[in-house]
Amino acid sequence: MLVRDATDAILESTDGDFTEIILDPLAPGFESYVTSTPTHLLGLKGANGELVSIALLALFADDIGGTAIVFPVDLLIAEDASISEMYLTVSEPEFISELGRYLNLGFNASSFITEEDLVEYFQVATPLVVTLNDPLIELDDGEPQIIYESGELALPPSEIYSYLSWESDNESGYNKWLRHKNFWESWLSSLTTDEAETLENEWRERELNRMFRGISSGILLIQNLNLFEVQDSNKYLRLEEDFLSALLLEVVPFPIAPYENGRAKVKLLDGIGGIDMVNTFVPKLVSAGGEIKLIGNAQQFGVPKTLITYYDEAYLNFAEAFSTAIAGSSIEFEPLSESAVDVTVLIGGNSL
């Protein structure tokens, strides 16, 4: 299932004129409001403002369980800038926008917590045990010195930040990411419901508490990334674009726009009756730049052809992308000064 969080609610139609409220989801005219997948961008930053580690958290349906994508801070998200470099050169809001542009999705909330925050957190939380695949080594007068042995490590609160921020020319960008991924997995999977409730009284980040409560209530999935090193560099990493798009579609099936007009708000209507709209058409529209706001039924079934209607000329490119994604569709322009959505997609029989 691609549904992660959807709440039925009766909203106004495109022209804002409802003569009857329809409650039967199988009846013509029914509409359901779709809540975006809950997401939170969580970064850990150092005393000098540097970004040490970062992850995207998302919750499953009803806030029970969730998933996390740990991004390497050495991941190139612009032609000549990694995540960590971008964070240092722009403001925090600009960074969030730039990362969202790279991922083609927005975040419901974000937090960037400090070393002091981490110490405060882990003084309340369960002691953290992490897995280290390879020992961390530094050279002392040319002689290798082991800082952390490989295997399972019990990290006291005062050492967690130094463990994450440790740097060595001998550690590849990929191995560094793996070390951070193991940390996040150990941290998030150790959360318990009781602990989340205790932290809610101690931790000032309300939206982050929601994530912790949800993750502690169900299954946690930590996503793997198909990373490859940039040629002539063992530091910078890249992600294959198609892999990233498919992964994000699975993790965040109902995304929001990363910036204004970054996605088109879409009403998706079944013009035939009984179509599995969520799994058949939502992924296609989201991949083409849609932000699904409503799913429902046409006023009458038996629609022969799929019609894509856009209400502002600025959204023509989205309408064309949706038409390419859904076979047999045609496009029309209906100028409206105000509309709850940017595009309406009415599915007809020729697109099945």
pLDDT above 70 (res 16): no
Per-residue pLDDT, averaged over 141-159, amounts to: 87
Place of tokens 């000032």: 204
pLDDT digits (tens, 9 = 90+) for 107-144: 999 999 999 888 888 877 777 899 998 888 887 777 88
* Residue ranges per structural domain of the chain: 31-37+257-351, 39-251
pLDDT digits (tens, 9 = 90+) for 175-193: 999 999 999 999 999 887 7
Q: How confident is the model at residue 10, as a pLDDT?
A: 34
pLDDT above 70 (res 242): yes
Reduced to 3 states (helix: H, G, I; strand: E, B; else coil), residue 328 is: coil
**What's the CATH number for 31-37+257-351?**
3.30.70.2390
Q: How confident is the model at residue 13, as a pLDDT?
A: 32
Residue type, 334: E
Reduced to 3 states (helix: H, G, I; strand: E, B; else coil), residue 153 is: strand
Residue type, 29: G
Number of Cβ atoms within 10 Å of the Cβ of 135: 12
Listed range (33-47, 157-171, 258-272, 322-336) with the worst mean pLDDT: 157-171
pTM value is 0.90
How far apart (Å, rounded) are the C-alpha atoms in residues 253 and 318? 18
pLDDT above 90 (res 265): yes
Closest Cα to residue 9, out of 26, 25, 33, 37?
33
Q: Which helix (H) or strand (E) holds 321?
A: helix 316-325
Greatest extent of the chain over all pairs of C-alpha atoms, in Å: 81
pLDDT digits (tens, 9 = 90+) for 21-71: 788 999 999 999 999 999 999 999 998 899 999 999 999 999 999 999 999
Q: Residue by residue, what is the 3-state secondary structure of 202-270?
A: HCCCHHHHHHHHHHHCCCEEECCCCEEECCCCCCCEEECHHHHHHHHHHHCCCCCCCCCCCCEEEEEEE
Q: Which CATH architecture has domain 39-251?
A: 3-Layer(aba) Sandwich (3.40)
How far apart (Å, rounded) are the C-alpha atoms in residues 45 and 114? 5
How far apart (Å, rounded) are the C-alpha atoms in residues 30 and 28? 6
Assign 202 a pLDDT band (cuts: 50, 70, 90).
low
Number of Cβ atoms within 10 Å of the Cβ of 235: 15
Provide the b/e sequence for 146-172 (b: ≥16 CB within 10 Å): eebeeeebebebeebbebbeeeeeebb
